[in-house]
Structure 1
Amino acid sequence: MSNTVSAYDVAVIGAGSAGLQAAQTLGRMHQRTVVLGTDRYRNDPATHMHNFLGHDGEPPAELRAAARKDAEQYADVELRDIEVLSVTGKLGAFSLALADGGAVTARRVLLATGVRDTLPDVPGVSEEFGDLVAHCPFCHGHEFAGRRVGVIGTHAHLGMFVSMLLPITSDVVVLTGGEPLDAGAAEALDRLGIPVVADPMSGVRRTDDGLTVDLDGAPAVELGGLFVKTDWTQAVSFPADLGAEMSEVGAVVVDAFGRTSVPGVYAAGDLAAGPGLPMPMASVLAAASAGLLAAAACVQDAAAARLT
């Protein structure tokens, strides 16, 4: 157990794409930075990531390994694989308690802690999630091109989601699992001519050609792939603990540069939503971009403070 307290210009919590890009940016600007992260990532279930310039189809772990190598070449960046238990303090004097009993202090804190997904309670969905079961058409839709695709859901935005899939797939079927369908979604699906299967689902299983969705009291549905809507929550309580403003959907509210409502606290990645966004843009590339912007804000704010 270590009780050493080390001081940094910026403490980055989270070592995914947002946190590692922030570290690289801060290192290049000679800001003494510590990145504190664990081995848990939102896209761990994904076999490959897509829609990322220069890295399309690459396993997420390979990108993280390359990003760590990039960040580590800067003398002012330190990466530590350790969990942060709490964050307290204010601008210029934040204190982070670590799982080994130690602590670090930092002038500023950049949260890149992400969110946690809760999947539909259908047997087999979690086992196939990240491959034949996905939640983002931008990340995984093309892989189901020309195939029959299912969408589990009843929510108000279902019509828009399905409409985005139509140019990609051969056809789409919506499965409600016995739950009532939102009235607006029902109208939109009817306009699009999308079949709706309302029977309860007993399970999802992989087949040689894709997936089979077994139903209670009705014939099974054969699919090439399946989309689900996940319910997400903040992975940690730090934003709320620090008093950061949160949106109606539970995202950290940030400005265009990742500044939260708390001086000295910044947020980047899936946990935060910027101006004009109803919710976070769940994308590895968007998270990395947000990490760069939040790091730039840290540098700019430190520079401005030296002028006062």
Structure 2
Amino acid sequence: MNDTAQHDSPLHDTAQHDALVIGGGPAGLQATLSLARVHRTVLHLDSGVYRNAPERHLHNLIGHDGQDPAELRAAARRDIAAYGTVTSVAARVVSLTGEADDFTAVLDDGSTRRARHVVLATGVRDELPPIEGLTELWGRGVAHCPFCHGHELSGGAAGVIGTVPGHLLHLAGFFPRISRTFDVFSHGTAVDAETRAVLDAYGATVHDQVVERVTPQGEGLVVHLAAADPVRLDGVFVAPTVHQAAPFAEQLGLEVSAMGSILVDAFARTSVPGVYAAGDAAHHRDLPMAMASVANAIGAGALAGGVCVADLMVADRAALLAPTAGR
């Protein structure tokens, strides 16, 4: 990471950057690179906390399938370090205030930074079902995205844990083509006749018992049920509840979806001028749900960075013409 300004800058940085990019994942790194490529001054802030940190391999990204996510981030930081208009700081932002052309971020060391526009690439936090062992095995046999982790269960035994019929059907629909067997755990919730008929047609084994805990075993895991035999699997999928990982949507008064994601238009603009959002934290207004993946995050970061540049250019042109107004 280009840490030339890391914690040795003055307590209150009076220099105003063109853009402040918050987030060190794929969306934030790509937005920073896009801004840097056209020589915009960028302050990139990275808290060091990443949604996919527990994962050993990322998938479904051409050219990087199977790579450690940390290696992708490191390569992106090396790319960004080559541009002299970027200042990267390893720090957490605790508050963000202001309006277009005058935003102020307060960092966890008490220092402040200023920027004309802001790109939020702050990601989300996953809340797993309250089942013993899921958190410990998250990214180590417990996953949520078959596009990212389904293929690795080819010919093996897969499972799905959930209480919402729609989630069960969506996740279970992947596995007839992938795994040798798969089990569905409704965690004590009754499965309606229509859902059960579809699951039966998929060839799933349905368990209605409460899941008491999940434990590791070799390269796989074991799902322990109340009053039933444990089930040995190679991997299990759940549908976590997601929350914004940062408080900036509330602090800036951004419009959010019913699921708490920052709503953006087709150009990554939020409801507040000068603020853009990309990656897992953002939700396109016309889509039924946030579309989370590394590939989508990179594309969204490029879009947010590019639109931020376009809006800065509009403001720059207005400022250039302002002295001649009224002549």
TM-score normalised by length of structure 2: 0.90
Contact preservation (8 Å) 1:154, 1:182: no
Map of 2:224 onto structure 1: 214
Report the 3-state secondary structure (helix = DSSP H, G, I; strand = E; otherwise coil) of the residue aligned with 1:71. Answer: helix
**What amino acid does structure 2 have at the position aligned with 1:162?**
A
Of 79, 82, 85 in structure 1, the residue corresponding to residue 91 of structure 2 is 82
| Per-residue deviation, 1:256 | 1.8
Equivalent of residue 166 in structure 1, options 176, 181, 201:
176
Note the C-alpha offset of 1:217.
1.1
Within-5 A mapping of 1:73-222: 73-155=82-164, 156-181=166-191, 185-208=195-218, 210-222=220-232
| Distance (Å, rounded) in 1 between the aligned partners of 2:90 and 2:146 | 32
Hey, what's the Cα distance between the residues in 1 that align with 2:46 and 2:193?
Answer: 43
Q: Distance in 1 between matches of 2:193 and 2:109?
A: 52
Structure 1 match to 2:297: 287
Query: Does structure 1 residue 4 correspond to structure 2 residue 4?
Result: no
Instruction: Give me the whole-angstrom Cα distance separating, in 1, the residues matched to 2:195 and 2:22.
Output: 39
CA deviation profile, 1:261-286 (whole Å, cap 9, x unmatched): 10000000001011432222211111
**Structure 2: 5+ residue runs without aligned partners?**
1-6, 319-327
Q: Does structure 1 conserve the Cα–Cα contact (< 8 Å) formed by 2:161 and 2:186?
A: yes
Q: Which moved more, 1:73-82 or 1:195-204?
A: 195-204
Q: Are 2:303 and 1:276 aligned?
A: no
Find the counterpart in structure 2 of residue 43 from structure 1: 52
CA distance in 2, matches of 1:237, 1:181: 37
Whole-Å separation in 1 of the counterparts to 2:197 and 2:124: 32
The residue that corresponds to 2:269 in the other structure is 259
Shift of 1:185: 3.7
Residue 15 of structure 1: CA displacement?
0.9
CA distance in 1, matches of 2:218, 2:171: 27
Output the aligned Cα RMSD. 1.6
Shift in Å at residue 210 of structure 1?
A: 1.9
- Which of the two has higher C-alpha Rg? 2
Corresponding position of 2:325? none
Q: 2 CA distance for matches of 1:235 and 1:184?
A: 36
Task: Give yes or no for contact 1:157–1:185 (8 Å, CA) kept in 2.
Answer: no
CA 279–182 in structure 1, closer or farther in 2 if over 3 Å, else same: farther
- Counterpart residue type for residue 4 of structure 1: H
| Residue 111 of structure 1, CA deviation | 0.3
Contact 2:161 2:168 in 1 (8 A): no
Q: Distance in 1 between matches of 2:259 and 2:219?
A: 37
- Partner SS state of residue 21, structure 2: strand
Shifted more, 289-298 versus 240-249: the winner is 240-249
Q: Output one character per residue of 1:83-117: Cα deviation in whole Å (capped at 9) or x when no partner.
A: 10101010000111111111011100100000000
Between the aligned partners of 1:284 and 1:13, the Cα distance in structure 2 is 17
- 1:16 and 2:22 aligned: no
Contact 2:143 2:149 in 1 (8 A): yes
Contact 2:215 2:222 survives alignment (8 Å): yes
1:235 alignment counterpart: 245
In 1, distance between residues paired with 2:141 and 2:170? 21
Q: CA deviation at 1:209?
A: 5.5
Decide whether aligned partners of structure 1 residues 152 and 180 sit closer, same or farther in structure 2, where only a CA change above 3 A counts.
same
Aligned to 1:71: 80
Return 183-192 or 296-305, whichever deviates more: 183-192
